[in-house]
A and B are shown apart, each in its own frame.
Chain A
Amino acid sequence: MEKKLGVYICGGCSIGEGLDLEKLSLVATKEYKVPICKTHPALCGEEGVSLINQDIETEGVNTIVIAACSGRVKYDVFDFGPSNIVERVNVREQVVWSHDWTKQVQVKTKDAEGKEEVKAETKPNEDTQMLGEDYIRMGIVKANKTSLPEPFLEEFTKNILVIGGGITGLTAAIEAANTGYDVTIVEKNSQLGGYAARQRKQIPTKAPYSELEPANIQEKIKEISNHPRITIKTGTEIARISGAPGMFDVSFKQAGTKTKWDVPPPRKKEEETGEAKTEEPVELPADQIKCEDILTKDTDAERFGVVVVAAGGRPADPSEFEHLGYGKFANVITNVMMEDAAAKGKIIRPSDGKEARTVAFIQSPGLNGDDSDFPYCSSVTSMISLKQAKYVREDYTDGKAFIFYKHMRTPGVYENFYKSMQNDEGIFLTRGEVKGVTENADKSLTVEVDDTMIGENIAVNVDMVVLATGMVPETRFDPVINLAYRQGPAFKDLELFDGYCDSNYICFPYETRRTGVYTAGNVRQTMTNGECIEDATGAALKAIQCLESTNRGMAVHPRSGDTSFPEFFFQRCTQCKRCTEECPFGALDDDEKGTPKPNPTRCRRCGTCMGACPERIISFKNYHVDMIGSMVKAINVPDEDEEKYRIVAFVCENDAGPALDMAGLNKLKFSADIRFIPVRCLGSVNTIWIADAMSKGMDGVLLIGCKYGDDYQCHFVKGSELCNKRMDNVAETLGKLRLEPVRVQQVQFSIDEYNKIPEVIDKFVKVIEGVGFNPMKGF
């Protein structure tokens, strides 16, 4: 594409008052010889937009640089179609709104009598002007280095695979199928329904949320069995899922069996470094079937576009709490055993089949002042105890159900359910610390509870004790998805979240770190039937969104609609595998030699691979190492004698970027010595940019990204963390160059901390002032 640049500078929103627009234009026309540069008092108005449109039509302008407000606003106004490149230069929020327009200067003048006097005079602030000009320079350079992305398009399928035939899986399948997609549902058991089919009644799913409801799972099973768009595979498991969104190749197998299409264990480090010597039969049992490499194609595999994982969970084993007598006394059971018993008929004691008229429910193991509930407990286990207490009352008019809890959690509308259950005169509730369960001669049990609301330590004699144990997500035990990915068959970092699948839990539910694989129900969080249904519906929608984005060559999340994808200049690849290893989404599978095999539809376009690559051979059409490097170099670094510092900041465009805009919006002032360059993610920051900045004579580099660690906020999960790891190397390099390591710093920033922007920036500027100018300035 032959580029013709047009630079348009807006004078509205105080930009014209804070900056000298003429001088800004000169940057474009004189320094960069941009053929067309225009200013307008209100570019976003009808007249301003038509001015640009006119140039597109008559002058053939196709690369438009707009120096006005933040690119986060008015993007609809400045949309000139897919065939034109638009670059927004933010001179409003990040220049005139956050910096002083004038400053006081001491000027020596002579009065009429020739006497010298010193006067304070107000002059335009040259620092603010320099800042604006630098942003124009960077904008022009960036526009010059951008090309239009061409979407990655293939023959994609739109079929949806749902793993798990419980209430979540069934709902997801029905919802997706009713929207017009073909769905295959896989259940490893011979029957559909999961735990929901084993319930006597369910926690309410509709208003007024106060009474138990008959379980409606059978209706769903009936609906799914007759659905023309749904294929059911019971007694089936996933051997492997290879490929990528839009073209997942799924090998099924009979549940509990092993096949050669099972995913081989990840390669060991020494294997990776050596030449293609994989499969060592030594570590495998004699009957072990040799698994095919992940890149081998199973011709019998079925193709799916997207996967919804609704694998549910398994009941936790409470044997570890010996004082409760589970496993020791026949009449101490778990809530799952209770549910099974209740579904069969009247509640009876397992020891002798005698009617269980008084039942104690234990919510928290107690002992030694420990406040925690059973592992994997939640509001759901609280509500299950309430529900099962009601069973006792349904079965026996003189039935008594005691619930001993540390926490009774019935959030939101479920308060109605709590109230209703509590209102039953035979349900006795108290907070308390369970001291122990003992068995009496007649197999009845005595539960001792300390520190109750009754004001003393009590004990009750009961026929049966039910422990409110939690559901452990299936992903804790089994990869379930068995991805033929080089990073391994399972979801990542499961151990950080007790086996629950995770990816920005609050902001992006259903998403996982495997693009095109969505989770719903109990693999994500313990849920009631009603919540499972809601969750399944959400996941089905996300799956459809993924299909329809992939189909058009667009990223799904969080860069929805982005059609760029990483391109590799393989001739220069050293097969170091850093990209394969660091990609937070496992988008790359290296082959036997270690050459990365990109899977564009798995990619979220964060650019972490680009940041990782030491050879800098990974680039996007509109985002690459050279582009940002050139932007850094475009910044005008004043000579040392001008006494002005220059700092470049790479800013995460997801959270820190918006925070900067908000700071501007709130007219918070900060140093004009710093230039911000938005990056897709700190993970995409290639250390060469830091070197570029230093050799250009910049005095410091600041990296502003998301919080990382347990409560990470990174949109790409690992970006800011990876960047931080690379910082160690940077410090080392700086040391070698005899530059102070403090010149390069990374800060963790949360989107709601915009008011701390001046503090963060000015603090860094102070640090730089402390170490002085970059000695390499001017070289």
Chain B
Amino acid sequence: MHLHKYEKIWLVFGMASLVLFLLIIGFAAFWKGTHPQSHIETIDPQNVEAHDAFKPENLGIREVADGKYIVNIVASAFNYDFGKDTEGNAIKTIRVPKGSTVLYQITTKDVVHGFQVAGTNVNMMVEPGHISRYEAVMKNVGEFTIVCNEYCGIGHHQMYGTVEVYE
């Protein structure tokens, strides 16, 4: 097959850029360990309470070490369950100090949901039978909206929460 000289230059340049690009994302993935979330841990969607992290008393935020937090969440149409406060009201806002490392652990009792802390890299699919996890350092102060970003039914847009990062 005949290739024009300029086309050869064009394709060699294009393919070299491609190889460089793939090396960069491969380096980030395998040397730096920056993969998208995938823990391949399963759970019975009809009995999520059987898992320690998703027992009603363990939902919400917990400090596990200095500056390290775990947030356990159970999603269901059309709500995120972050546990209850001392007065028995449903928690809607997670508060963490700036610079903390937060591990979000979430699963669903019913259909597929999304979990995104808008304005951060925390963005996961939440699927029945699976546990989704993502650890992030909350570097910026402010209020971040948690949105369900996968369609889960007619109340999908009413499914939200807030992460408040304070000084």
- Are A and B interaction partners? no
